[in-house]
Structure 1
Amino acid sequence: MKKEDLKKLHSSIEANFKLLEPFRKNRLEVIKEYVGSHFSDHGSEKQLPFNMIRLFVDIFTRRLVANNPSSLVTTKPLRLRPSAATLQLGLNHLIEEIDLQRDLETAVKDALFSVGMVKVGLNHSASVEIGGVLHDVGQPFMNAVELDNFVCDMSVSRWEDMTFIGDRYRVDLEFAQTKMFVGSEDAKKLTATGKAVQDNERHSTKELLEKRTGFDAEEYRPKVELWDLWLPLENKVITIAAGQLTDVVLNEIDWDGPELGPYHQLGMAEVPGSVMPLPPIASHRDLHELVNFTARKIQRQIHRQKEILGVASGGEGDIDRIMNSDDGDVIKLDHPDLVKDFKLGGVDSLNLATMVNFMELFKQMSGNLDSIGGLGPQSDTLGQDKMIADSSSVQVADMAARVTKFTARIVRDLAFYLFEDPLINLPLVKRVPGVEGVEIPVTLTAADREGDFLDYNFDIDPVSMSHKTPGGQLNKLMTVIQQVYAPLRPVFQSQGITLDTSQLIRSLAQYADLPELDGLFISDDGEALLDDQPVGSHERTLDPNTTRTNIRINRPGATNSDRANAFVQGLLGQGNDEQRAVAARATG
């Protein structure tokens, strides 16, 4: 790269980094609200009795990315399907090995705060430190990129029109001088970069939350800051120093990776004319602050509340007897009519009702947060609860679709590096479908690859990232038994298909956490049912004329919303006996 172009690039990086300052500042302020006032000395400046932002972010993060994704590799040519199956095994192995879910969760959480950003690449040396994380030889990696260390061309309105995208990171100074850029004389001129060097032009979440001061006082070894920049028009990736050697390119390579480049952005809502998305927290923050402003006001009212005993003139003789008495004592008062209780201050009912209303509004704006987070029943019946949960899921569906698409792009990039690696030698195990315990060892090597990378389609199973609980798995199992197997049982039997009751009880014992189930079921010969038996050997035939009686009991429920409404009505003096009963009833 020409020196004139390089100087222009440095100037453009500095200018665009400053344009991102408001976004970094807003992100920092939101993270301070998220961590509250007790995380460090420099979290939220005010107490947050009801941290609604923390509740929102934790629930949605758990809903959107609770596990590592499972890849799906398909291909149209029949001859390539065995190779696709092997590649899928290798890709899922890589996803587990690099713990993709960890950085994916960071990116999703960042997207709720501001914007999620990741960097996908491939190492080419024995041991490389990228973003503070060591990566193995030739292994694909994915790192979350914080907005504090990100820069892009802010003059464009679409991500596809970027002229440069990059991220900043810190590496060991000696490593950068001697090993990172082999044969580079310019690398030897690098000097240590102090952590406070750019505090005047950025809001670093980690540094400002901990209020670090000074230059490297807490670092064991000096480090240097570098920029990795992808230049789409030139189709190059370059590495330059941050704040020094402005006329030097430390490393420059022609980009031969995935066509979309090494960086991927996750946003939850587009803003016309801007490359920066609108985060959900931006529209929720004001209500969060209103809730806690009102809560702090109520707290001050509680502190000011007093209950005193007043004695009028002439009743002085009763004062000592009253002050020396204990609770429940019987004492003589000469002038009881001159003694009176006074209650001063206390919680204002309207303020308390307003705060509860704000909390309910926050949950409604979040798409029924109680239902999404499983914080309690939302209706009087299970069927209605399911309908509400399905409706709430629609509110989450857009976010989930964005996360799925974002993850699929990452997985495709990882698959590209896995497919193109000439030195790959990955031992795997294939399991034979329908035959338990049979495994075939296979090895994914460059010689085993068939076809071209474009012959394969890469996607992810969206369900694989969702949160799974034993109780949820148990419900799914019982639904299949009751709604699929039971009605179609004659059809299954006519085709020689029976239910393996031994496996069913094993699954029930596992999901319900009832290991004692293995001793509760025995066969006709008195042996434990969970011993190894032929499939379907213990299934009994029920009388087809069996009479079943379903009894439905209606009991008024007390949902979180009902209780809140009843509580507010009571505070405002508008509640009746039934509403007061609902407010007092336990949820569920």
Structure 2
Amino acid sequence: ILQWFDQFSGNTSTLGGMMPQTNVATVANIMQQNAATGVTYMRDQFHQAVRGIQRKCAWYLHTDPLIQLPLIQRETIPAEYNITAEEIKMISPARVQETQIFLTPEMRRGDFLDFAFEIESDSMAPINWQFRLQQLETLMIRIIPAAAQAAQISAQMGTPFSFQKLIVHVAKMMNLDWIDEIFQSPELIAMMMAAAQQGPQAQNSKAGMAAQQNGGAVVGKTSPRPQTRSRQEAQAGANRGQAKLPVKEK
């Protein structure tokens, strides 16, 4: 009966990746997509359960008057520049000033129902260092040069463009939360506008001539595709597994 229903309903088992009829690559891809869908659903259910637990814990922290939370207040102090017609000199670099405070009942504002609790995407997933390194390579090789070129064009056109906000936003999407610690340049637009007002300068070396071709910026090598990256990770795991095998000398 199950086979008859599957035939009359358009092979739903095959489309769902549960009962392949042929051993072909397309069926394997369908089964992989179905497994990924199931894993995504289970991850969402797990995030909902964790969000409910965190909400209950936050209710006690917000309501109980006897609890005083030690917190760290981080204030970003931008860099100070002295911009003149001759040069741009940095007076003090950007820094993050940390101050320890205590969240007392008098400082708590609003009702508990006014707050929303969400779990950040991929915040609870274990990610190995190789994938992190590939993400950093993608950010440094592909995104930052393209964003710098877009900021330069926007500065020449007189259009406001925030290079820092773009890089920080893309890094947050890639789960690179430490970008705030190394990338702090709110005055980058003013520096680029001052450099754009000076006009193009002559290139005196072959390296300088090679730095720009056909009016475009040099872009490094591209990062591998997701399929190529998965094959590389699988091969790296196999290599590590084979490296630990005992070798018997004859």
The one of the two structures with greater contact order (alpha-carbon pairs below 8 A, sep at least 6) is 1
TM-score by length of 2: 0.43
More helix by share: 2
TM-score by length of 1: 0.20
Structure number with larger C-alpha Rg: 1
